Copies of this chain bind each other. A is one copy, B any other.
Amino acid sequence: MAEAATRRRGRGGGGAARRAERTAVSVETAKYIERNIPLYEVLDDEALEIIERNAETILEEVGVNFVENPAALDRWREAGADVRGERVHIPRGLARKLCATAPSRFTQHARNPERNVEIGGKTLVCAPIYGPPFVRDMEGGRRYATMADFEKFVKLGYMSKWLHHSGGTVCEPTDIPVNKRHLDMLHAHMTLSDKPYMGSVTDPSRAQDSVEMCEILFGKEFVQDNTVMTSLINVNSPMTFDEVMMGALEVYATNNQACIISPFIVGGAMAPVSVMGTLTQVLAEVMAGIAYSQLIRPGAPVIFGAFVSSIDMNSGAPTFGTPEASQIIYGAGQLARRMGLPFRSGGSLCGSKLPDAQAAYETANTFNAVLLGGVNFMLHSCGWLEGGLVASFEKFVMDADQLGVLHKLAAGIATDENGQAMDAIREVGPGGHYLGCAHTQANFKEAFWRSDVLDYKPFETWHEDGERDTMTLANAKLHQMLNTYQQPALDPAIAEALAAYVAEKKSSMPDAFS
């Protein structure tokens, strides 16, 4: 990829430096995706207008709850909503009007400016899995996640070429007290990677800590003027905005930091069993949440989020990579674009317990909908297993590799003279072959996307190599990545200040494990 930034580390003077140079790992990260292809639109204008009309009806007639948050109710009342108890009825048109101040696109800065990402318009930014309490790998099986696992995931994310973002709670470090985890997690993202990352949302005070750590890393002034975090604010569907998530949103919006306003829906449980009904509820919820963010600070960057799984009505289990989930991604993308907002959905979603064929079918189905559906921010881009309960090391590597497919597809088809290749066709002629022709020689290196994980060997070689399946190949790859990982350089004064902040904060409060 021409746009990939190549960085080398370990430079310096003398023989040791030269040896380091020879063994230095080239950590290449592709630029975020900018689509040079059309999007897929599953709904016509009439259907979209019905959804928009119905969403306004929900906001006005049914209303949304802002729970244990009197200040939010005051803000809504002042903005012109009809507030009854904790129920906010938003007059037709008001939410959409408030949303209009949200930017259609924003830059999230990374501490390495080459890794800044643009979120909105034609872009797609890929971030890893978020939230699982368990991890799985071939050596250790399924187990509770620890901080050591977390750090390994951050390192793998840093080493993954097609991953643009370090993410947030890549797994829950369950060996760290709940009230201190966010400090260690942010510290890891800031020091073990130089890609952009997410802030804590589990308490408003932790969001404040996240902002303060960013001020150490980027400088106070920079953080006030620029977006350096994109954080995940889930809506308690249906139509409920709880005080914890809203408290975190308030901190981030006040500080001009980005939030994904994201209904979290298991279809048939938290939303109607129909795609149209779910899209309608999603739109109403997102409009209410984004409108609220703009009441906090007009112009605060936000993302239209939609996390929707379907459900197996036999077992009640959420299901992923299903046709209904794809339809929601396509439809919600259209709704977000009509609002001129960046869009978040999708991920390496699957229900499988193992990184097997089921996991891959379901993940690939979602990836395809994400690319053609216009997703701008794909959380859970890699590593998701078991409905999000498990972060899989092998699947992280497998999925991150597949993100390369999306990069190449998004680049579109070159239609210039070289792309047309008429000289090659004339040169080779009927019955010839193209392997040696001039056009092939000039173009073969960039012509075809190539996996760094999957098997392309002849059967005999694959057999002699031990008949390894994808999981086994990914396991070898992840060890290779971790073994060659080198920490990106960071100003020692900043590193020291960050460590001191974390130590001080952690010692200032008792451990809490729930």
Residues of A within 8 A of B (CB): 37-38, 40-43, 46-47, 50, 54, 57-58, 61-65, 87, 142, 236, 238-240, 267-278, 280-281, 310-315, 317, 319, 321-324, 326-327, 331, 351-365, 368-369, 372, 386, 389, 395, 398, 402, 405-406, 408-409, 412-415, 418-422, 424-426, 428-435, 439-440, 443-445, 447-450, 454-459, 462, 467, 469-471
Contacts and interface: CB of A to CB of B under 8 A. Distances in A.
21 contacts: A40-B40, A40-B372, A42-B413, A57-B422, A236-B431, A240-B430, A268-B447, A273-B439, A273-B443, A273-B444, A274-B418, A276-B420, A317-B456, A319-B456, A323-B449, A331-B413, A351-B455, A357-B359, A361-B454, A364-B364, A364-B365
Contacts of A467: 353-354
Contact of A419 (B274, B369, B386): B274
A378 B203 CA distance: 52
Contacts of A272: 421, 424-425, 434, 439-440
A444 B469 CA distance: 37
> Which one of A63, A272, A351, A415 has the highest number of Cβ atoms from chain B below 10 Å of its Cβ?
A272
A62 B429 contact: yes
**Closest 10 CB pairs between A and B?**
A277-B421, A364-B364, A360-B360, A272-B421, A323-B408, A239-B430, A273-B447, A357-B470, A357-B360, A368-B368
A224 B239 CA distance: 63
Contacts of A280: 420-422, 425
Given A41-B38, A275-B419, A358 B269 contact: no
Contacts of A365: 364, 368, 405
A15 B351 CA distance: 44
Nearest to A447: B273
Contacts of A317: 456-458
Contact of A268 (B312, B358, B418, B444): B444
B312 A415 contact: no
Nearest to A413: B275
How many copies the complex holds: the figure is 2
A382 to B, nearest CB: 12
B454 A313 contact: no
Nearest to A322: B449
Given A273-B439, A420-B54, A421-B272, A63 B430 contact: yes
Contact of A276 (B270, B353, B414, B444): B414
Contacts of A362: 454
A327 B433 CA distance: 22
B462 A353 contact: yes
Contacts of A351: 454-456
> Which one of A46, A240, A433 has the highest number of Cβ atoms from chain B below 10 Å of its Cβ?
A433
Given A65-B431, A358-B469, 15 more contacts: A54-B420, A57-B422, A239-B431, A267-B448, A268-B448, A270-B434, A272-B440, A277-B424, A322-B408, A324-B408, A327-B413, A354-B469, A356-B357, A356-B470, A357-B471
